[in-house]
Homo-oligomer: A and B are copies of this chain.
Amino acid sequence: MKVLILNEKDLRTALKDSNPIDDVEQGFKKLTLNEAVLPGIISLEIPEKKGEFHIKGAYLQGSPFVVFKSANSYYDNPVKGLPSSSGLFFAFDSDTGFIKALMFDNSFLTHVRTGISGAIGTKYLSNKDLKQVLIAGCGTQGRFQWEYLKKVRSIKKLKLWDIDPKKAEEFQNEIKAKDKIDVSVVTSLKDTVPECDCITTVTPSKKPFISLEWISKGTHINAVGADNPDKQELDERIYGIADVIIVDRKAQCVKFGETHHAIENNIIKEEEIDGEIGDVIAGKVCGRTSVDQITICDLTGVGVQDAAIAAFAIKKATEKGLGTYADIS
């Protein structure tokens, strides 16, 4: 028996010139329709080594694969000149349980599915015609947000902000080299945010940097950065003026997403969350119903996204004849 082995290069080649947005959408939709199995996760922590392992998995009905992902973080690795994050995806045949593929993605697949979730939030919740878009946070994930955002909306003006303006400039130069778009770096969020109708926040910030006072009618916000209880990007009072609040996974967002700060500070009650993004995709929840509404999509990352992107990558890699095979018989 042979197992397909895909490294990061293979996976980047597999996904080149392809669009997995529909597949990730289907993952969210299956979760809503109870057509997904999403078990608990394993967290193994080694405090004395500042190391932790998180394993999660999911099965989407009809998929040829059951997918698990190990995401490992060693916070002292950079001191040794090593990346802090590592891990792998492993995919089993959903009809036999046999291992079929191992993907050493160096976080690439996770970045892709997270970028796609922002695009899905925008596709289903922002206004169709956008005057000006802001990406706040110009690290790796900011790039993935842009990569998929431009596939779902025709964007005329893009503003980039980072706490380190040099990072924003680097990103601006990359975009100028490949995309025909009016892109510029901003340093004042106070001046920029009021003119934006679509904002994606994707920073590791632990204190809010988008103020209530700056938000205009009709704005959509994707809150991507907060994936643990300490992180926060939005003034929690924005939840108080939001007309539509959508999350990727309610059980997570009330614990460690952006949304949990709004609940903890009594700005909203848990019941005021309008639904999960899968509900909107499936048509069970409306989402935006007028151009003036303020909408928020809180994205913390769900196993169904991993299952969807992994299955998509294996399909594309197989079609393109990528990777190597390990004989395990």
Contact = CB atoms under 8 A, between A and B. Distances in A.
A97 B68 contact: no
Contacts of A43: 39
Copies of this protein in the assembly total: 2
Interface stretch (A98-106, A176-184, A204-212, A275-283): A98-106
A53 interface: yes
A97 to B, nearest CB: 4
Report the interface size class on chain A: 35 or more
Interface string A44-87: 11100101010111110000001010101110010010100011
A68 B179 CA distance: 43
A31 to B, nearest CB: 14
A186 interface: no
A77 B97 CA distance: 9
A99 B92 contact: no
B49 A95 contact: yes
Contacts of A94: 46, 49, 51
A39 B44 contact: yes
Interface stretch (A130-138, A147-155, A312-320, A321-329): A321-329
A73 B41 CA distance: 19
Contacts of A53: 57, 66, 68, 92, 97
A107 interface: no
Contact of A40 (B42, B68, B327): B42
Interface of A: 3, 5, 7, 37, 39-46, 49, 51, 53, 55-59, 66, 68, 70, 72-74, 77, 80, 82, 86-88, 90, 92, 94-99, 102, 104, 324, 326-329
